[in-house]
Every structure is written in structure tokens, then in C-alpha cells.
Amino acid sequence: MSPSTSVRRRQVSTGGDWPDSLPSLLRRVYQARGAASLAEARPRLAQLLPPSMLGLEAAVALLADAIDSDRHILVVGDFDCDGATACATAVRGLRMLGARRVSHAVPNRQVHGYGLSPGLVGELAAMEPQLLVTVDHGIACHDGIQAAKARGWQVLVTDHHLPGETLPPADAIVNPNQPGCSFPSKSLAGVGVVFYVLLALRRHLRAAGRLPMPEPDLGQLLDLVAVGTVADLVPLDANNRALVAAGLRRLRSGQGCPGLTALVEVSGRDLSRLSSADIGYAVAPRLNAAGRLDDMAIGIECLLSDSIPRARELAGTLERINAERRAVQQQMTARAEQVLSTIALGREAAPVAACLFDPGWHPGVVGLVASRMKERLHRPVIAFAPAEPGGSSLRGSARSIPGLHVRDALAAVDARRPGLIERFGGHAMAAGLSLPAAHLDAFTDAFVDSVQGMVDPAMLMLEVPSDGELSPGELCHAMAVALREGGPWGQAFPEPQFDGVFQVRDWRVVGQRHLKLEVVTGGLPLNAIHFGGWSGNPPPSQVRLAYRLATDDYRGGDAIQLIVEHLEAA
């Protein structure tokens, strides 16, 4: 079931405006990502696109009126990291801009399901809101918004997910992906959208002479914006890179909010050298764990806390929940491997897509299983779990491969087989859906057929991208630091990865499944580690590695190591 693999060198454009002080390797890396100057590669906040999204004027009018008339604003978040940071950004930002009656709520995944549902609206009625603001969701919540409107509430939707054929009946919608919006960057995360709403609101209040003094510095929210943007795996276009870089600078300098600082502490990362990869692999999972297994209200409280002791207490709770999440994920992943083995029986190659289900799986963790199996197969994968124990409805999470828009694939199924899917939504690379358990087999066939009609065979070949070979002189601590600090790296602006042939001088297994190597190239000995790379067989004596160059913080000093992403016999 393993996909065919090849190493592909990235194409490097020539020319551009580059300072002589920039290492030639970094220039090559930037050019391979389409940048023609250092300003394009490392955009600053001064280059940020101005607030010009469709719906901003109506949104600002709603918020300004609510602030002026001291109305109750209720921010409704979502139960992932983007939704939590968006909620905290909205609450903190509105309070900075003069709103005195701001509260927040978030659906519980196990109780309410996704988004603003009629059931959640019924529970929120006890809070007596007057203006509801959705963050990181709402564009697909027609029924919930209709229920809120029926109660006499105003509704402002801020979202970045792709809309369906019709828009919900909200009083205002801000979403760069809605029809008619000419905002150049379509890649904002939910937290980025609400940050732009706050920028526009500040501009309006300043022009009207109603801005609190001293003037609020919304830059204080950029640590939250950076974390949510990286966590949601949206493309890091120039606009998002400017936001993330500024947020990372705040965190590294110790100016981040107490909650994020505490989460970095419990993850064991060095705050002063925090990278976008640290956010993705260490900070975001600890926030996400609350929404997956418990209640994201814990995570949002952590992000909103201004008390360092309280933030540390909540971060410790999130750390324990995350440990539980890892154990659940490990069990589910092992079961998914067994299911894949069953699917593979009698086949020469993997199917173009896979749908996996187990009645014992947890609905909050299926996205992680789908992601892991997608990496294993290099095929679109949907993992399903019962929406509630013993229930008749399934909740699924889809992950896709480059070139295959998984939400479009679901939309094609829905168009050809109306009623098969109860609801769905998402992005090109990730989506969520629900359907009756009785429909699973029919849906699986329809989804595979849909993907079959959309894929090019070349998409199913796993290509490991490479920025070329490094010379022995470039395999040094100074270059590892330059690469780490040359980001932020992420989706559509990937972290540099290199390839080369090495002699294996020694090896051992650590942590049961990680392969630790001592390799040599050009007479230079190096340490390397391939996480999850132990296959049960000794590595070849000569290997081609695709790897990232990193500082070895465990050894300290000028030590470096190769983080291996792919290993094959040379």
C-alpha cells in the first residue's frame, strides 16, 4: 500500500534584487518559492494588505453601533486552534476598542457538533446576546443563523471557509472567499479574517473620533493570529507570512499573551527561538486536544487569561488532555493500519481514495487518523467515527493530496447523489462531513468514483521535494540557524529540504520506532534521525536522504543534525 516515491528538485528562478549579505543558499531557497526580492521573501507588517474585504463596511457598522449603545456582543468560536485563537482575538480586540459587554461561547464537539447549530442557539439564549459574531465558521450554518435571527439577534459572520451555493441570512458576512469579494489574499485563516475586521473597526472609530485613548495597539493580538494561521495549515502567502512573522517576534521577545507563553513552556520549546514548526507540532496540538477530547472552552480560557499562574494551570490541563489524545490516536492509527491491510488484499496498488471507519473510534480524533493515513497512502482519505457512542450518524474528516480539491469532490458526490451526505464543508486539503451510518457503503463508492474522475495519475506519485544538495561547507550550525530564522515556513512556502547521498557508519533504534543514524558525506560525519523510520530492517550501507538541516539543541553548542523525511538505498 506504500506509494511510489521520487525525489523532485525544486526549480529555481534566476535574477531578482538580493542583498550581498544574504547567504546564497537562502537566496536559492527563496527563488525556488517564487520570491524575487528579500521584501517578497520576508514581508513586513508595512506591506500588509489594507482592510478591503466585501462586507467589512456592514460588519463595522454593526460592531460600532453595538459598542456605542453598550449592547451585548457574544463571540461564538470553533473547537479547533484557529477557532480558539480567533475567539480570543475577537474578545480581546473588541474590549481594546471600547466594547464593555463582550462574552464568548464555543460549541462542544460531542454535544453540539460543528458550528452555530439551532441547538447551540437555544442554549445561548440564556446569555441574552444582542449581536452574535461567529469566528472561523458560520458560512455554512444557515439553520443556526436563522434560529438566531428568529430570536431577534443580529448576526455577523466572519469566516474563511468556502461557501455553498447560497449564503446564510446574516446581517453581515466577512469572508474573503465569498462571491464578489476582491480581496487579493484568499488564504487568510479564521483568525486572520477577524483581525482584519478589528483593523477596519479601529479605522472607523478613529475617523469618527470615538477611539479609546491611548489608541489601542492591535499588534498585541498578532501572537494569537500567528498561532491560528499556522495551525490551520492555510497557504502562507506574503500577507500571511507578514502576520505570522510579526506574531513570532512578539512571542520570542516574551510579549505574547500568558496563555500562549504557558503553552510554549509546557511543550518544552525554547520561547526565544520559537519557529512556525514549533507552533504546528507543539503549541497547536495542545490547544486542539481540548476541542477533540474535552471542551475548547478550556483552551479559550487559557488564551484569554491575563494571570500567569492561571494560564500555567490551564496549560497544564491542556497538556494532560493532549497526552490522552496521543494515546487515543495511537490506538486508532493502529486499527486504521489493519483496515488498510484489509483494503489492500487482492490489490496490486492502493485505490485512488479510502474511507475508513471503526465503531470504537472517537469523532474528535478522526482528522488526525485521516491525515496520518493520507501520508501513508498518498491518497485522499476520510476517517469516520460515530457522532456519538452507539448513534446512527457518522462524523467524517477528510484529508487530501496536492492537486485534489477534497471539498469539490464532496460537492460532486452531493450533486450526483442528493441526500447521501447530511452536511459538509471545508477547504481544498481538508474537509468535514456527516452522514447516516447506513449510507457509508454507498458514500464510499460515490466518493471513490468522484476522486477517480478528478485525479491525474501523476498526482498519485509521491514526490519528495528538494532544494538540492548541500556542500560540506553548508552543513554547519550557522547555516542551520539561518534557515530556521529565514522563515516563517509553512503551507505553500515550505521549510527548506535537501537531498544527498550518505554512507551509513552506524545506526540504532530509539523510542521503539525512530531510526538514529550516523552518516558521512565528503568526510564529514553527521547525526541524523528519521522519526518513525524504523521498518524492522537495517538501513542500507549507502542511502539517499531527503532531510532538513537543524540545530541539535539536545547536544547544544554548534551541534547540528539532519531531520530525515525520506530514506532510500542509493
Q: Which of 2-16, 353-367, 398-412, 488-502 has the lowest mean pLDDT?
A: 2-16
Query: Mean pLDDT in the chain?
Result: 94
What's the grid cell of residue 11? 526549480
CATH code: domain of residue 11: 2.40.50.460
Q: Which three cell numbers stand for residue 40?
A: 517578497
Question: Which of 436, 459, 482 lies at the terminal end of a domain, its last residue?
Answer: 459
Tell me, yes or no, whether 425 and 480 share the same domain: no
In a domain, 40, yes or no: no
Report the C-alpha gap between 232 and 191 in whole angstroms.
Answer: 10
- Asked whether residue 535 is assigned to any structural domain, the reply reads yes
Strands, sheet with 154-158, edge to edge from the N-terminal-most edge strand: 102-105, 73-76, 131-135, 154-158, 172-174
User: How far is the CA of 212 from the CAs of 87, 201, 222, in angstroms?
Assistant: 22, 12, 20
Residue 452 sits in the same domain as residue 467: no
| 477 and 409 within one domain | no
378 and 477 share one domain: no
The Cα–Cα gap between 389 and 447 comes to 25
How confident is the model at residue 535, as a pLDDT?
82
Q: How far is CA 309 from CA 112, 258, 272, in A?
A: 31, 9, 20
* 220 and 136 fall within a common domain: yes
Give domain status of residue 443, yes or no.
yes
Judged by DSSP in three states, 196 sits in: helix
124 is a domain residue? yes
CA neighbor of 189 nearest in space, from 127, 101, 280: 280
Please indicate, yes or no, whether residues 25 and 118 belong to a single structural domain of this protein. no
Residue 213 three-state SS: coil
Same domain as 444, residue 544: no
Q: Which of 345, 401, 397 minimizes the C-alpha distance to 369?
A: 397
Cα–Cα distance for residue pair 85/51, rounded to 1 Å: 20
259-307 pLDDT, tens per residue?
Answer: 999 999 999 999 999 999 999 999 999 999 999 898 899 999 999 999 9
Q: Give yes or no for residue 107 having a pLDDT over 50.
A: yes
**Taking the C-alpha atoms of 304, 305, 308 and 314 in order, what is their torsion angle to the nearest 10 degrees?**
-90
Assess if residue 549 is contained within a domain: yes
CATH classification of the domain holding 448: 3.10.310.30
Amino acid at 330: Q
Last residue of one domain, picked from the residues 459, 476, 505: 459
Say if residue 17 is in the same domain as residue 81: no
- Same domain, residue pair 17 and 147: no
| Residue 5 binned pLDDT confidence (cut-offs 50, 70, 90) | confident
- Considering the domain architecture, whether residues 125 and 242 belong to the same structural domain is answered as yes
447 is a domain residue: yes
Neighbours of 80 (CB within 10 A): 26
Last residue of a domain, one of 412, 443, 459: 459
Confidence class of residue 512 from pLDDT cuts 50, 70 and 90? confident
Residue 544 is part of which domain span?
A: 5-32+463-569
Block residue for cell numbers 523510520 = 533
- Verify that 236 and 108 share a domain, yes or no: yes
Residue 351 sits at the vertex; the CA angle it makes with 349 and 353, to the nearest 5 degrees, is: 145
pLDDT for position 3: 59
Question: Tens digit of pLDDT for each residue in 344-361?
Answer: 544 456 689 999 999 999
AA letter at 291:
G
Residue 336 counted as domain residue = no
Amino acid symbol at 166: T
Is the link from the previous residue into 129 a cis peptide, with omega within 30 of 0? no
pLDDT single digits (tens) 417-436: 999 999 998 888 889 999 99
Tell me the angle at which helices 284-293 and 308-344 cross, rounded to the nearest 10 degrees: 70
Q: Which of 266, 255, 224, 273 is nearest to 88 (CA)?
A: 224
Is 122 found in the same domain as 20? Answer: no
The β-bridge relationship of strands 73-76 and 131-135 is: parallel
Q: How many domains does the chain have?
A: 3
| Domain assignment of residue 272, yes or no | no
